[in-house]
Amino acid sequence: MATSRNHRPATRASRGIPEATVARLPLYLRALTALSERSVPTVSSEELAAAAGVNSAKLRKDFSYLGSYGTRGVGYDVEYLVYQISRELGLTQDWPVVIVGIGNLGAALANYGGFASRGFRVASLIDADSALTGRTVAGIPVEHSDELEKIIAENGVSIGVIATPAGAAQQVCDRLVAAGVTSILNFAPTVLSVPEGVDVRKVDLSIELQILAFHEQRKAGEEAPLEETAPPAAPPAAAVTKRPDSGPDGDVPAVMPA
């Protein structure tokens, strides 16, 4: 990555935003929303970076893709930046979503306030269990999965959330895609196959816990006895001494316009 580019994006330079920047925008938005709720009018890049858990130079670079630069000595206008990031992410539109699989997780997601506040409207809750049909979760009646295609079509749903058991997820995914859904958020503990043009993101609830464990291990110190399990048989040949190809450092590729 170049350290000081002269590129100066237009007011809305959304085409070439790197994927890594896209992934950080929700983190900034979360921190900015917290400031907004406390009626904080402006924020410095350092404060915001700390709140979002990001390096401040990286934050400034990310915001340069949005054409947002702040004012020296004043910082960024919180409300306007919330608007800019929301617009960039597409959150100023209304996104109807369906949640398929209304067990504990599906019900928790239906009740989750963080969706509605981000422009996501739960258009329907869908479950294969007839016993749930007609019951209300978070004020929304559960519909039977026989109706899935009809629900997608009538509500113009392009984003589906899968919270079924692993065994049912691929079939649900196939039906959602056939019905016109082009983005899938997968909470089921399985890998989904989708055709070209469909985006899948998988949520692994243990990932943040793994990062905490890394730091806990460090805090505990290397002196403490580690209860490590034995490594698998003999260290295989694949584990030895080849220098990595010294290719380019590998930024995440830029998001290409559709």
Binding to a second copy (CB under 8 A) within 28-57 occurs at 29-30, 34, 42, 54-57
The pattern of x and - marking residues 180 through 219 that bind a second copy according to CB under 8 A reads --xxxx---x-x-----x-x-xxxxxxxxxxxxxxxxxxx
Number of other residues whose CB lies within 10 A of the CB of residue 29: 21
Number of residues engaging a second copy in binding (CB under 8 A): 123
Q: Which of 16, 40, 69, 150 binds a second copy (CB under 8 A)?
A: 69
CB-nearer residue toward a second copy: 146 or 223:
223
Rounded to an integer, what distance in angstroms lies between the CA atom of residue 160 and that of residue 183?
6
Rounded to an integer, what distance in angstroms lies between the CA atom of residue 163 and that of residue 12?
35
**Cα 128 versus chain centre, distance:** 27
Q: Report, in Å, the least distance between residue 190 CB and a second copy.
A: 8
C-alpha distances in angstroms, 68 versus 6, 7, 165, 207? Answer: 15, 13, 43, 31
Which of 76, 41, 36, 30 lies closest to 56, judged by CA?
Answer: 76
Q: Is 139 a residue that touches a second copy (CB under 8 A)?
A: no
Q: Report, in Å, the least distance between residue 146 CB and a second copy.
A: 25
Q: Is 242 a residue that touches a second copy (CB under 8 A)?
A: yes
CB-nearer residue toward a second copy: 195 or 197:
197
The answer to the question of whether 105 is labelled as a binding residue is yes
Interacting residues of 167 by C-beta distance below 8 A, sequence separation 6+: 190
Binding to a second copy (CB under 8 A) within 82-101 occurs at 83-84, 87-95, 97
Binding range to a second copy, per CB under 8 A, among 20-28, 128-136, 140-148, 170-178: 20-28
Residue 18 backbone dihedrals phi, psi, to 5 degrees? -60, 150
The answer to the question of whether 111 is labelled as a binding residue is no
C-alpha distances in angstroms, 87 versus 38, 63, 113, 118, 124? Answer: 22, 13, 20, 11, 25
Q: Report, in Å, the least distance between residue 185 CB and a second copy.
A: 6
The pattern of x and - marking residues 221 through 240 that bind a second copy according to CB under 8 A reads xx---xxxx-xx--xxxxxx
Q: Is 129 a residue that touches a second copy (CB under 8 A)?
A: no
Find the angle CA(103)-CA(129)-CA(101) to the nearest 5 degrees: 35
Q: Which of 120, 124, 169, 173 binds a second copy (CB under 8 A)?
A: 120
Rounded to an integer, what distance in angstroms lies between the CA atom of residue 28 and that of residue 49?
8
Residues flagged as binding site for NAD(+):
101-106
